Structure 1
Amino acid sequence: MSLKTKPFVIGIAGGSGSGKTFFLNAFLHHFKQDEVTLVSQDDYYIPAGEMTQEENKLYNFDLPSTIDSKQFLKDIKQLMSGGIVYKKEYNFNNTLAVVKILEIKSAPIIIVEGLFILHFKEIASLIDQQIFIHADEEVALRRRVKRDGLERGYPEPDVLYKWNNHVVPAYKQFLLPYKPNCDQIILNNSDSAEDIIAVTEEISKELKNKIFNR
């Protein structure tokens, strides 16, 4: 794919339980497949086998050092130049999961999402519009407990340990300081899908007018 103009890069950051995934899915729904592409920080985790377990045998995935930020940056630049990126999909260390190879094609709009995208300076410098998804801590924790229990089968004590010792400290150190400088802050305490869909529709209309003149 050859691009006549530089793609418009949107950075979407938010803590665990902020509703970032639903926001992304709703946002992508407003565009044609060849108009937007997504590159996710989750697909750049360093394999757990290369990390050190804590005393309780849990790994801390909520540190910038767990991300292969150099490859993440390289792939974003590849997409910005019109190239294609092939990447193994992260499976949350589920040994039974079938590993998918993602084919990420360039597009006029590139969405970069993840917890540390604003902390990684070289990546942040490539972002044209920074969007911060925020949820109050008690709301985010409730969502996290529900997700990790239902979807990933994690025991609640482990979820709470990670929340208090990994998730919240990382959020406060590596993401929250960048919140005031973001172009848009979206409060997502509601569990109403209609609320987020309305917000994404408004943002997508502005982008379509700016990038596609429609």
Structure 2
Amino acid sequence: MSNKPFIIGIAGGSGSGKTFFLNSFLHHFKQDEVTLVSQDDYYFPAGEMTQEENKLYNFDLPRTIDNEQFLLDIKKLIKGEVIYKKEYNFNNPLAVTKILEINPAPIIIVEGLFILHFKEIAALLDHRIFVEADDSVALQRRIKRDGMERGYPEEDVLYKWHNHVVPAYHEFLLPYKDTCDTIVINNEDTPDQIIKITEEISVVLKDKYCHRND
């Protein structure tokens, strides 16, 4: 690609509604206009773990992420190269792991908990979006998600929340909130509000970056 892509960073704590925001945002673009690279796919393999080991293992630390490979792949996309990445299965032995083909595009979305903490990755972002929700709202979303999608007992979810999730949020994400260009408060599960916000941002970006070669 002759033009440097526009890179959007989307960060938010667990239960902030970041995934719904992200999906709403992507919905406004054609497939060849935007590409997504997610921090979740860069966890170092933790190996097979028992339920108790999984409960105690802290995934909410920057050292659990291969940020060097994460950075390298973002730079490849910027140069117009295709990257191939094994999808992370959240240590679920029953999950079918796919190989992701991530193609370059005029707009690149980088998302994850630590994208603002990783200095070299943060330096590549042209626009930063911070999605947040009240702790009580975020916790209920986390309990529902981890119970339904990952089969975790509520006791384990609460342990991780208080011992891993909240401390990591306050240390590695919240300090960067004021550096963000857009802050989205997502306490109410009202799709209309999020769709409206994402549409407003996407209209500007599509006009500026996706139609520049028309």
Do they superpose with TM above 0.5? yes
Equivalent residue, structure 2, for 1:91: 89
Instruction: State the match for 1:155 in structure 2.
Output: 153
2:125 is aligned to: 127
Corresponding position of 2:177: 179
> How far is 1:22 from its partner?
0.6
1:124-147 deviations in Å (ceiling 9; x for gaps): 000000000011111100100010
Against the structure 1 CA distance between its residues 108 and 56, is the aligned structure 2 distance closer, same or farther, given a 3 Å change threshold? closer
Match of 1:105 in 2: 103
Distance (whole Å) between structure 1 residues aligned to residue 43 and residue 148 of structure 2: 22
Q: CA distance change for structure 1 residues 169 and 5 in 2, over 3 Å: closer, same or farther? A: same
2:55–2:159 contact (8 Å) kept in structure 1 = no
Q: Deviations over 1:98-117 (max 9, x none)?
A: 11000000000000000000
Count the aligned residue pairs: 211
Of all paired residues, the percent bearing the same amino acid is 75
Unmatched segments (≥5 aa) in structure 1: none
**Matching residue within 59, 64, 67 for 2:65:** 67
**Residues 95 and 149 of structure 1: CA distance in aligned 2, closer, same or farther (over 3 Å):** same
Distance in 2 of aligned mates of 1:22 and 1:45: 21
What is the alpha-carbon distance in structure 1 between the residues aligned to residue 107 and residue 40 of structure 2?
19
Measure the CA separation in 2 of the matches of 1:134 and 1:206: 23
**Cα deviation per residue 1:78-116 (whole Å; 9 max; x = unaligned)?**
000000000000010111111100000000000000000
Aligned counterparts of 1:124 and 1:95: Cα–Cα separation in 2: 33
In the alignment, is residue 16 of structure 1 matched against residue 48 of structure 2?
no
Runs of 4 or more off by more than 2 Å in structure 1?
Answer: 53-58
Gaps of 5+ in 2: none
